[in-house]
Structure 1
Amino acid sequence: MTWSNQEWWPDLLRLDILDDNAAELNPYGEEFDYAEEFQKLDLDEVKADIEDVMTDSQEWWPADYGTYGPLFIRMAWHSAGTYRTLDGRAGAAGARQRLPPESSWPDNVNLDKARRVLQPVKLKYGRKLSWGDLIVLAGNVALESMGFETYGFGGGREDAYKSNEAVEWGPETEWETTDPERFEDEEVGNLKDPLANTVMGLIYVNPEGPYGEPDLEGSAKNIREEFDRMAMDDEETVALIAGGHTFGKVHGADDETEVGPEPEAAPMDQQGLGWDHDFEKAGMITSGIEGPWNDTPTMWDSGYVDNLLEYEWEPHKGPGGAWQWRPASEEERANIEKAPDAQNFDESEEPMMLTTDVALKHDEDYREVLETFKEDPRKFQQAFARAWYKLIHRDMGPKQRLLGPEVPDEEFVWQDPIPDADYELVGADETAELEDAILDSDLSRTQRVKTAWASASTYRDSDKRGGANGARVRLAPQKNWEVNEPAKLADALDTYEDIQAEFNDSRDDDVRVSLADLIVLGGNVAVEQAAADAGHDVDVPFEPGRTDASAEQTDADSFEPLKPKADGFRNYLGEGDYNDLYDSLEERMVDKAELLNLSVTEMTALVGGLRALGATYGDTDRGVLTDDPGTLNNDFFVNLLDMDYEWEPLSEDEEVFEVRDRATGEQEWEATRFDLVFGSNSRLRAHADVYAADDGEEKLVEDFIAAWSAVMQADRFDLE
Structure 2
Amino acid sequence: MNNLSPDKTDTKTFEMTGQCPFGGDRIGGAVGTPPALSDWYPNRLKVELLHQNGASANPLGDDFDYAQAFNAIDLEALKQDIKTLLTSSVAWWPSDYGNYGPQMIRMAWHSAGTYRIADGRGGAGEALMRFAPINSWWDNGNTDKSRRLIWPIKQQYGSALSWADLIVLTGNCALEIMGFPTYGFAGGRHDAWEADNATYWGPEVWDPKNVTSFDSMVMRDKRWRGRNGDADYDLENPLAATHQAVIYVNPEGPYANGDPMGSARDIRVSFSRMAMNDEETVALIAGGHAFGKSHGMVKADEIGAPPEISPMEAMGFGWHNPKGPGNAEFTMTNGIEGSWTSNPTQWDNDYLENLFKYEWEQTKSPAGALQWTPTDPNASKTPDAHIPGQLNALMMMTTDIALKVDPDYRQVCEKFLHDFDAFTQAFSKAWYKLTHRDMGPRERYLGSEKRNDNDLLWQDPIPLADYALVDAADIAALKQSILALRISPSDLVYTAFSAAVSHRSSDKRGGANGGRLALAPQKDWAVNRRTVPVVVALRTLMAEFNGQQTGGKKVSLADLIVLGGCAALEKAAADAGIATAVPFTPGRRDTTQEFTDIEMFTWLKPVADGFRNYLDDGFAEISQGVAPEELFLDKAQLLSLTAPEWVALVGGLRAMNANHDGSAHGIFTDRVGVLTNDFFTVLTSMDFEWTKADAQGMTFSLDDRATGEQRFTATRADLVFGANSQLRAVAEIYAGSDGHPRFLKAFAKAWDKVMMLDRYDVKV
Give the TM-score normalised by structure 2. Answer: 0.92
Select the residue among 69, 86, 92 that pairs with 1:37.
69
Deviation per CA, 1:566-587: give whole Å up to 9, x if none. 1100111222235346721111
Q: What are the equivalent positions in structure 2 for 1:376-395 lying under 5 Å apart?
A: 376-395=419-438
For 2:53 and 2:660, the matched residues in 1 are separated by: 27
Select the residue among 179, 183, 193 that pairs with 1:151.
183
Aligned counterpart, 1:536: 578
| Aligned residue type for 2:332 | I
Q: What are the equivalent positions in structure 2 for 1:471-486 lying under 5 Å apart?
A: 471-485=515-529
Verify the 8 A CA contact 2:221 2:243 in the aligned structure 1. Answer: no
Q: CA deviation at 1:44?
A: 1.1
Aligned counterpart, 2:331: 284
| Aligned residue type for 1:118 | I
For 1:216 and 1:123, the matched residues in 2 are separated by: 44
Verify the 8 A CA contact 1:263 1:273 in the aligned structure 2. Answer: yes
| Aligned residue type for 2:107 | M
Verify the 8 A CA contact 1:192 1:580 in the aligned structure 2. Answer: no
Q: CA deviation at 1:352?
A: 0.9
Q: Does 1:515 align with 2:546?
A: no
Verify the 8 A CA contact 2:607 2:623 in the aligned structure 1. Answer: no
Q: CA deviation at 1:345?
A: 2.4
| Aligned residue type for 1:207 | P
Aligned counterpart, 2:533: 491
Evaluate the alpha carbon distance shift between residue 95 and residue 555 of structure 1 in structure 2; reply closer, same or farther with a 3 A threshold: same
For 2:267 and 2:78, the matched residues in 1 are separated by: 35
Select the residue among 689, 709, 722 that pairs with 1:679.
722
Q: Does 1:184 align with 2:225?
A: yes
Verify the 8 A CA contact 2:493 2:568 in the aligned structure 1. Answer: yes
Deviation per CA, 1:650-687: give whole Å up to 9, x if none. 22221111111112222111101111111111111111
Verify the 8 A CA contact 1:324 1:353 in the aligned structure 2. Answer: yes
Deviation per CA, 1:495-535: give whole Å up to 9, x if none. 00110011111123311100000000000001101111111
Select the residue among 439, 451, 460 that pairs with 1:396.
439
Specify every segment of 5 or more residues in structure 2 that has no aligned partner in the other structure, as ranges: 1-19, 21-33, 212-216
Aligned counterpart, 1:586: 629
Q: What are the equivalent positions in structure 2 for 1:165-314 lying under 5 Å apart?
A: 165-174=197-206, 176-177=217-218, 179=220, 181-185=222-226, 190-255=234-299, 258-280=302-324, 283-314=330-361
1:434 is paired with a residue whose SS is: helix
| Aligned residue type for 1:172 | E
Q: CA deviation at 1:181?
A: 3.5
For 2:505 and 2:697, the matched residues in 1 are separated by: 31
Q: Does 1:315 align with 2:362?
A: yes
Q: Does 1:49 align with 2:93?
A: no
Aligned counterpart, 2:484: 440
For 1:278 and 1:51, the matched residues in 2 are separated by: 31
Q: Does 1:689 align with 2:732?
A: yes
2:714 is paired with a residue whose SS is: strand
For 2:755 and 2:281, the matched residues in 1 are separated by: 36
Deviation per CA, 1:345-368: give whole Å up to 9, x if none. 210111111111101111100000
Q: CA deviation at 1:398?
A: 1.1
Deviation per CA, 1:586-605: give whole Å up to 9, x if none. 11011000100100010000
| Aligned residue type for 1:571 | N
Q: What are the equivalent positions in structure 2 for 1:355-366 lying under 5 Å apart?
A: 355-366=398-409
Q: CA deviation at 1:255?
A: 2.1
For 1:582 and 1:270, the matched residues in 2 are separated by: 41
Verify the 8 A CA contact 1:194 1:580 in the aligned structure 2. Answer: no
Aligned counterpart, 1:369: 412
Evaluate the alpha carbon distance shift between residue 297 and residue 581 of structure 1 in structure 2; reply closer, same or farther with a 3 A threshold: farther
Deviation per CA, 1:112-152: give whole Å up to 9, x if none. 00011101000000011110000000000000000100000
Select the residue among 661, 678, 681 that pairs with 1:638.
681
For 1:115 and 1:396, the matched residues in 2 are separated by: 21
1:648 is paired with a residue whose SS is: strand
| Aligned residue type for 1:300 | W
Evaluate the alpha carbon distance shift between residue 187 and residue 303 of structure 1 in structure 2; reply closer, same or farther with a 3 A threshold: closer
For 2:80 and 2:657, the matched residues in 1 are separated by: 59
For 1:609 and 1:582, the matched residues in 2 are separated by: 29
Q: RMSD of the TM alignment (CA)?
A: 1.4
Aligned counterpart, 2:591: 549
For 1:454 and 1:103, the matched residues in 2 are separated by: 37
Moved over 4 A (4+): 185-189
Q: Does 1:63 align with 2:95?
A: yes
Verify the 8 A CA contact 1:150 1:385 in the aligned structure 2. Answer: yes
Verify the 8 A CA contact 2:442 2:452 in the aligned structure 1. Answer: no
1:618 is paired with a residue whose SS is: coil
Verify the 8 A CA contact 1:305 1:374 in the aligned structure 2. Answer: yes
Select the residue among 686, 709, 713 that pairs with 2:752.
709
Verify the 8 A CA contact 2:73 2:160 in the aligned structure 1. Answer: yes
Deviation per CA, 1:335-383: give whole Å up to 9, x if none. 2111110101210111111111101111100000000001101111000
2:165 is paired with a residue whose SS is: helix
Deviation per CA, 1:433-454: give whole Å up to 9, x if none. 1111101101110110010011
Q: Does 1:526 align with 2:568?
A: yes
Verify the 8 A CA contact 1:204 1:223 in the aligned structure 2. Answer: yes
Deviates more, 1:216-225 or 1:22-31: 22-31
| Aligned residue type for 2:192 | A
Select the residue among 324, 329, 334 that pairs with 2:371.
324
Q: CA deviation at 1:46?
A: 0.9
Aligned counterpart, 1:455: 499
1:569 is paired with a residue whose SS is: helix
Q: CA deviation at 1:23?
A: 3.8
Deviation per CA, 1:221-274: give whole Å up to 9, x if none. 111111111111100000000000000111111327721110001001010000
Deviation per CA, 1:531-581: give whole Å up to 9, x if none. 111111011111110110001111111011111101100111222235346
Q: Does 1:573 align with 2:615?
A: yes
Deviates more, 1:19-28 or 1:602-611: 19-28
Evaluate the alpha carbon distance shift between residue 318 and residue 21 of structure 1 in structure 2; reply closer, same or farther with a 3 A threshold: closer
Verify the 8 A CA contact 2:503 2:511 in the aligned structure 1. Answer: yes
1:628 is paired with a residue whose SS is: coil
2:610 is paired with a residue whose SS is: coil
What number of residue pairs does the alignment pair up?
Answer: 714
Aligned counterpart, 1:564: 606
For 1:278 and 1:186, the matched residues in 2 are separated by: 37
Deviates more, 1:367-376 or 1:166-175: 166-175
Verify the 8 A CA contact 2:127 2:164 in the aligned structure 1. Answer: yes
Q: What are the equivalent positions in structure 2 for 1:407-446 lying under 5 Å apart?
A: 407-411=450-454, 412-446=456-490
Q: CA deviation at 1:314?
A: 1.8
Verify the 8 A CA contact 1:21 1:598 in the aligned structure 2. Answer: no
Aligned counterpart, 1:115: 147
For 2:571 and 2:56, the matched residues in 1 are separated by: 34
Q: CA deviation at 1:22?
A: 5.5
Specify every segment of 5 or more residues in structure 1 that has no aligned partner in the other structure, as ranges: none
For 2:496 and 2:548, the matched residues in 1 are separated by: 25
Verify the 8 A CA contact 2:55 2:61 in the aligned structure 1. Answer: no
For 1:494 and 1:446, the matched residues in 2 are separated by: 16
Verify the 8 A CA contact 1:22 1:599 in the aligned structure 2. Answer: no
| Aligned residue type for 1:51 | K
Aligned counterpart, 2:60: 28
For 1:293 and 1:422, the matched residues in 2 are separated by: 51
Q: CA deviation at 1:177?
A: 2.8
Deviates more, 1:209-218 or 1:178-187: 178-187
For 1:495 and 1:280, the matched residues in 2 are separated by: 75
For 1:495 and 1:257, the matched residues in 2 are separated by: 67
Aligned counterpart, 2:133: 101
Identity of aligned residues (%): 50
